[in-house]
Homo-oligomer: A and B are copies of this chain.
């Protein structure tokens, strides 16, 4: 199968990770980890709300380039699936049924990504989202054994990569979430669950005009151009929950 079956927890690499001083260091550690675990790839990948992405890992520059150029972010079942999920997930459990997904999969394998994968979603405040992935090429049983063995290590690595990446890229941090007033939150929340403005006003027992003031105020705070935008921003910044 190729990868080491039994190793000490994270093999002391977590310390190396924690000592990283730059993205290049992270890159080097990910290469070392990849070799240590004997897998094909090991990647930390940050996806911002606006679609920009960066990260470090062992994918070939070719593949990374292609991924971005082709807009694979929008069809990659790993990203899509993890985005909707709470927990680490084996790629086999994702939905590869769509044609686009299968085409993507084929392309990915052709670029050496491997047929097996295990990805961990990581989130921060305001909808920040990153992925930590280990991928390999091997039979299902071997992979199942590997993931069972190293699941915890991978969780810790995911955490540590995320922590370091954020430390090293302070510019990527979210805009300061401008706090919304309680009423504004209530208003946007009710709008987000489908109430019309009139219904929201009735629910909050205020005049429709007052409601409008809240929504406008929230729009302003969020830098939104209209209500849809405001609700979307409030949602993706974690200011409201539906």
Which residues of chain A from 108 to 129 have any CB-CB distance to chain B below 8 Å in the complex? 121, 123-129
Residues in chain B near residue A87, CB distance under 8 A: 159, 162-163, 166
- Within the complex, which residue of B152, B155, B192 is in contact with A228, where a contact is CB–CB below 8 Å? B192
Whose C-beta in chain B lies nearest to the C-beta of A233?
B242
- Within the complex, which residue of B98, B177, B185 is in contact with A179, where a contact is CB–CB below 8 Å? B98
Q: How many copies does the complex hold?
A: 2
Which residues of chain A from 206 to 242 have any CB-CB distance to chain B below 8 Å in the complex? 224-229, 231-233, 235-238, 240-242
In the docked arrangement, what's the CA distance between A127 and B185, Å? 14
B226 touches A127 (CB 8 A): no
Known: A179-B98, A192-B229, A228-B231. A238 touches B163 (CB 8 A): no
A166 touches B228 (CB 8 A): no
Residues in chain B near residue A139, CB distance under 8 A: none
